[in-house]
Amino acid sequence: MIQDKLDLAADVLKQVLVIDDNMDITKLVCMQLQPQGFECIQKHSVKEAKEILHKFLPAIIICDWKMPKEDGLMFCKEIKTNPETSHIYFIMLTASNDSAEKETALLNGVDDYITKPFDTQELISRINIAYRVCLLQKIAFEHERNKAFTQMGNTIAHEINNPLTGLIGFLQLTKSRLEKKNTLHHKDILKTIQSLERCLEQSLRIKNVVQKIKDVHQPKFKMHGSTQIVDIDPKNDAPKN
């Protein structure tokens, strides 16, 4: 199942958005990347790039730094500060080889930096590195998500099993008692009411656990034996004054 998801992700991670106001540059980049299995979309301004991001979310962006109106660095800052796009691997294209500019770019969220004119093999190598980074991030994300599902499943099993076992037990006891009686005396009715009250208590415990699970936003964890579970009531573990 995980491998199927990763195989699907591998295709998505080869989607590249190329932005440069020079059409020859975008065309050249795409011509070099498409034979390597990358799907490229060309845009010639930051404005055009922003418009397509509502429909097409690439794994990698290759963007020129110096462009009219909006430059690539400002665009990179927007990409990296937006939670929906911050994962995108951003490669800056520039005609400058100044080390101070490279440092500025890297400090502002740029993941890699290619100087124009660039060597074809260098471009392909940098893109392949970007692809591998994106794939590793995807693998890590899938691992953490599966781990979270397992931990939540362990939590539900631990927190709900006890009251659920009690609820089922009291219901079975009440059912068995009623089936044996042709006539209910006052004593029988009292016992039945007591059993139903215990059932109600266990049901409310389950309801309370479910609500606590729903309220978990920043989970903390604890060990139950050798199993890690979500701590749905961390306040109870807080040190008392």
Q: Report the pLDDT value the prediction gives residue 13, as an integer from 0 to 100.
A: 78
Q: Are strands 89-94 and 39-43 parallel, antiparallel or unpaired?
A: unpaired
CATH number of 2-118, picked from 3.40.50.300, 3.90.1570.30, 3.30.1490.190, 3.40.50.2300: 3.40.50.2300
**Which pLDDT does position 44 carry in this prediction?**
92
CA-based torsion, 132, 80, 147, 226: positive or negative = positive
- CA torsion 71-72-75-76 (nearest 10°) is -150
Domain boundaries, the chain: 2-118, 147-232
Question: Which tens digit of pLDDT belongs to each residue from 201-213?
Answer: 888 888 777 777 7
Phi then psi for residue 172, to 5 deg, are -65, -40
What does DSSP assign to residue 232?
Answer: S
Structure tokens at 66: 């110096």
The DSSP bridge pattern shows strands 60-64 and 112-115 to be: unpaired
**pLDDT at residue 5, as a whole number:** 44
Which positions of the chain have pLDDT values less than 50? 1-9, 238-241
